[in-house]
Amino acid sequence: MSTPNTNDYHAAVAAIRETLTRLSDERHATERVPVTRAEAERRFEDLLASEAAAVGAGVDAARFTVPEYTPPERGVLALARPREIASGDPLPHLVGAVLARFNPEALRTAFREEANTFYAQHPEALSDDARTAKLAELDAEQLCTACDEERTIREAESAGVPIARRGDASPPAVLTPDEELTGDVPVARVDPARYWLIRDRATALADAMWGADERRRIARDEHQRAALRVRETEQTAASRGVEVSEDLRQFEAQRHTALERCTRTYDEIHEQWEVACRLASACREYATAQGVDVREPGAPGIEPGGLSLVSSPQWV
């Protein structure tokens, strides 16, 4: 059997990630599918009952019989003897409560008309049980696919082909030991050693980032000195009526190019570091939730609150 080349591994991981994206989109879409018409009607009837319960059992006609009668501040709404409605409640709430108590059919008719229009445009309704079952199915498929991604990345690493993990990679897959990262239903047991590898990757990137930042600083200083030298020479040349040496201008341009190159390198490493930190933080949180201590023997304790993206690289 031939050994897969670099492109094979990258192509395999890219295909798996496309599947993960599709599954994620499908899960989000499933969460947004409307509930069934029956469930919507049940919710509406519950609301009607709740609103009607806030209104008294009858009209307070006695208040019109006293000689010292004064019209109520809320007009006809005051006839409903509201029991649980606070005096500061907005007028629309009071109107809705009174309608729910004395004319619920008008509200039901309006609701049904709107519901007919809505469900004619959204026939893909799901019951709560169906939605729960569909989400569970998608979650299981996502975990299996995430394990395929992690298994392929580890195979690539063994073949000397490093492939960066996503910042939102699945912690259960990333932390599963090699011997259990097979089959259709992964065990997803947390292996602390897997976390140490992820953490060390973030630490290595932090060290590389600080080195790149130092090189960027040196390049910036060199460019500033070169630019200052050009400006000073231009002033002197102008006073003497001569031209600035082209070699000097080229030197300043070279320093500018070097600064841009160092800046790009720093930005690339910084982006990789942020991704690695997010993954390490997510893996640590997952391991902790599973009751697994992922602190390496002899290592300092990990402070709660996740990994800092702006502090020094010594975040463990």
Q: How far is CA 228 from CA 85, 225, 261, in A?
A: 74, 5, 20
Task: Output 122-126 pairs: Cβ under 8 A, ≥24 positions apart.
Answer: 122/34, 124/33, 124/34, 125/33, 125/34, 125/35, 125/36, 125/37, 126/30, 126/33, 126/34, 126/35, 126/36
The predicted structure's pLDDT at residue 187 = 61
Q: Report if residue 95 sits inside a domain.
A: yes
The predicted structure's pLDDT at residue 224 = 92
The predicted structure's pLDDT at residue 293 = 85
The predicted structure's pLDDT at residue 250 = 86
Instruction: Read off the tokens for 220.
Output: 């910036």
Instruction: Read off the tokens for 309.
Output: 């993206």
The predicted structure's pLDDT at residue 75 = 53
The predicted structure's pLDDT at residue 64 = 67
Q: How many structural domains comprise the chain?
A: 2
The predicted structure's pLDDT at residue 138 = 95
Q: Which residues of the chain have a pLDDT value below 50?
A: 1, 81-86, 90, 298-316
Summarised one tens digit per residue, pLDDT across range 213-233 is: 999 999 999 999 988 888 888
Q: Determine the structural domain holding residue 106 and report its residue range.
A: 37-125
Examine the domain organization and report whether 176 and 265 are in the same domain.
Answer: yes
Q: Report if residue 25 sits inside a domain.
A: no
Domain boundary among the residues 70, 96, 125 is at 125
Summarised one tens digit per residue, pLDDT across range 255-266 is: 999 999 999 999
d(CA 182, CA 35): 37
